Amino acid sequence: MQALKVSRESKKEDTIIEVNGIKIGGKKIVVIAGPCAVTSKEEIIEIAKAVKKAGACMLRGGAFKPRTSPYSFQGMGEEGLKFLAAAKKETGLPIVTEAMDTRDMKLVEKYADIIQIGARNMQNFSLLKEAGKTKKPVLLKRGLTATIDEFLNAAEYIAAEGNDRIILCERGIRTFNTYTRNTLDLSIVPALKEKTHLPIIVDPSHATGIRNFVLPMSKAAIACGADGLIIEAHTNPEKSESDKEQTISIEELKTLIEETRKVAKSVGRGM
């Protein structure tokens, strides 16, 4: 079989993805932060300003939310995307936001600087193909039970359509363990570094589901070679519409960035 486009065999050098002047996969570690979901214009602007001040370089926030229960808040849809655009206008922070449905891909592409494909959709091949047809970089999250080969083949679906600007994200997998929301599989970071030239970031928020574990796992992720972090943070974590247990405060985000910067330095990277 032919080597995958996303494999190291096909391309030796690391892929560096540039988004509005920010490089992902280079020497510098990127920190993407923001709420789980966008819930109002005022709030997302306030959070964007705060995460920027704390040192984050991109804003995350879902307008389309993949919720376990159909009765839970499903996101604001296009209105949420408009609020993200307003937050970008105020702060200059590029936007990372999820597309869940092929029918919304064009709309999300219009507003997002990076299109996120969520864990539950990692093997939604139609969605991957649509993402592959866009002109925006794609942040592909690892599926809840995906092996490394399934993860890389999911990325290949995007690359095969002509979009090679893909960022992989480890966000924890399902194991027998129930004391954390998921189990953060950090060993996939060096494994992916061998197998692919694509940048790899870690989401310690969804991986642990526990606010107090986000800092130590962020440090560990950078120590083992991750190129960045995506963190759920809020100016008032208790007011988060979703995932409040894992959402950190702005003060905690600031500490996280300061502490993680020391780790980055110790492994020859900047932040």
Minimum CB–partner distance for residue 169 and Mn ion (Å): 13
Contact track, ligand PEP, 164-203, x by CB under 6 A: -------x-------------------------------x
For Mn ion, the closer CB: 62 or 137: 62
Residue 222: CB minimum distance to Mn ion, A: 21
State which of residues 36, 44, 115, 221 lies at the interface with Mn ion (CB under 5 A). Answer: 36
For residue 188, CA distances in Å to 29, 184, 233 come to 18, 9, 25
* Shortest Cβ 137–Mn ion spacing (Å): 20
Q: How far apart are CA 237 and CA 239, in angstroms?
A: 5
Among 29, 36, 93, 127, binds ligand PEP (CB under 6 A): 36
Of residues 223, 207, 216, the one with CA closest to residue 269: 223
**N-to-C CA span, the chain:** 39
Does 243 interact with Mn ion (rule: CB under 5 A)?
yes
- 62 sits near ligand PEP (criterion: CB under 6 A): yes
- Residue 171 interface partner, choices Mn ion, ligand PEP, none, CB cut-off 5-8 Å depending on type: ligand PEP
Q: Which two tokens stand for residue 176?
A: 């027998």
Q: Are 47 and 239 in contact (CB under 8 A)?
A: no
Amino acid residing at 96: V
Binding string to ligand PEP for residues 220 to 249, with x set by CB under 6 A, is what?
------------------------------
Binding site for Mn ion (CB under 5 A): 36, 243
